[in-house]
Amino acid sequence: MYKILKAETLADKTYLMDVHAPRVASHCQPGQFIIVKMDDKGERVPLTICDYDRENGTITIVFQAIGASTTRMAELKAGDSFRDFVGPLGQPSEFISEDIEELKNKKILYVAGGVGAAPVYPQVKWLHERGIDADVIVGSKTKDLLILEKELEVVAGNLYITTDDGSYGRSGMVTSVIEDLVQNEGKHYDVCVAIGPMIMMKFVCLLTKKLNLHTIVSMNPIMVDGTGMCGACRLQVGDEVKFACVDGPEFDGHLVDFDQAMARSRMYKTEEGREILRLQE
């Protein structure tokens, strides 16, 4: 059993938990994810790692209550436990394997949409701890839904907040902030990392392709086993078929077929759609 040490509400339907999982905490890296299961009958829920504390053996997860399982998860309190907490899964962020001295010469822009701020945070923190301060854009529908602003402020070079309704920070989509920074404010970036809803990552990639800015995305398709066996998280990346759970979750955003990924995610929402996908696999 994996004990929840802290459970708090970050925003409407958005929750943060610190979970005691020493084995995962001992060797996880930014960019990786875990799969949690509440009990024997519970659905397996994949969640990216938002933070980790190797000394105390804890993993921080952030999730939105959007389906039956995550709504039940949101009711858990400090002292409750998860039945399973499997990980770390997937590959660490591309930057983890790069030479630090080379990385120091790169200007990096992170773009987070909604709860995408959670997986962005450990990457920016990891870079900051090594003397590299990346710029970060966080987009949120409204001020009330914005998460991890204070934490990101500490580790980001420059933090740009934008809200769809203009209730806080700049107004509009993250793509208009990228355009502003690059085209109007003359900023130069060597690489962009975009994490958030697929539709946001798709539009960021359409723009960065035009700007000739290499872009990494973290894909969050439906996952079932998380081990590359079931095919649920299959993606088309360039002319290759990839599995987000073992090959990713990060990929070259300019090669990902977002329309196909979004269509597959929609199909997984109905039993009929799941059957069609099962037959195709």
Sequence ranges of the binding site: 62-64, 230, 233, 245
Decide whether 68 or 241 has the Cβ nearer to ligand FES. Answer: 241
Q: Is 89 in the site for ligand FES (CB under 6 A)?
A: no
Among 42, 92, 231, 273, binds ligand FES (CB under 6 A): 231
Tokens of 131: 């003397």
Q: Is 10 in the site for ligand FES (CB under 6 A)?
A: no
Contact 40, 82 (CB under 8 A): no
Stretch that binds ligand FES, among 8-16, 74-82, 129-137, 223-231 (CB under 6 A): 223-231
Q: How far is CA 42 from CA 35, 37, 38, 48, 154, in A?
A: 11, 6, 5, 18, 37
Q: Is 228 in the site for ligand FES (CB under 6 A)?
A: yes
β-bridge partners, 112: 138, 195
- Least distance CB 149 / ligand FES (angstroms): 32
Decide whether 224 or 255 has the Cβ nearer to ligand FES. Answer: 224
Rg over alpha carbons for the chain, rounded to the nearest Å, is 18
Write down the residue that tokens 């701020």 correspond to: 117
Among 5, 76, 96, 224, binds ligand FES (CB under 6 A): 224
The number of beta carbons lying within 10 Å of the beta carbon of residue 37 is 18
Note the residue count of the chain.
281
Q: Residues in the site for ligand FES, rule: CB under 6 A?
A: 223-226, 228-233, 243, 245
